[in-house]
Amino acid sequence: MEDKQHTFFENVYEVVKLIPKGRVTSYGTIANYLGTKGSARMVGWAMNAAHGLSDVPAHRVVNRIGVLSGKNHFSSPNEMQERLEAEGIKVDDDRIMDFDEVFWDPMLELL
């Protein structure tokens, strides 16, 4: 873990850190914003590495349909949902409710 992916990971972290409280985005959206469109899996991989960084709110990143696909990777599977609900995001059956309302698109709102 030294040079090449460093840039990609760094970019992912930077975007994730910019996600406003109470909002969420998706792996594919971040990938698209970074220009690595189609490589949503790499974003997920980056999150896996970001897992230890408190600066990166990985719980605000879900898949395209608002499912907490990564909850299993947290310290506790319940932690992700609790953190989201603590920010005012309603979660039901591992899925974000009103997903279109809390969705945050860097291309659209960050600009």
DSSP state of 87: T
Instruction: For the chain, state the CA radius of gyration.
Output: 13
Among 23, 64, 83, 95, interactor with DNA by CB under 7 A:
64
**Sites for DNA among residues 11-40 (CB under 7 A):** 26-29, 31, 36, 38-40
Q: Three-state SS string across 2-71, please?
A: CCHHHHHHHHHHHHHHCCCCCCEEEHHHHHHHHCCCCCHHHHHHHHHHHCCCCCCCHHHEECCCCECCCH
Among 15, 34, 47, 84, interactor with DNA by CB under 7 A:
47
Number of residues that bind DNA (CB under 7 A): 32
What is the smallest separation between the CB atom of 103 and DNA, expressed in angstroms? 11
Q: Which residues bind to DNA, rule: CB under 7 A?
A: 1, 5, 26-29, 31, 36, 38-45, 47-48, 50-51, 58-59, 61, 63-65, 69-70, 72-74, 80
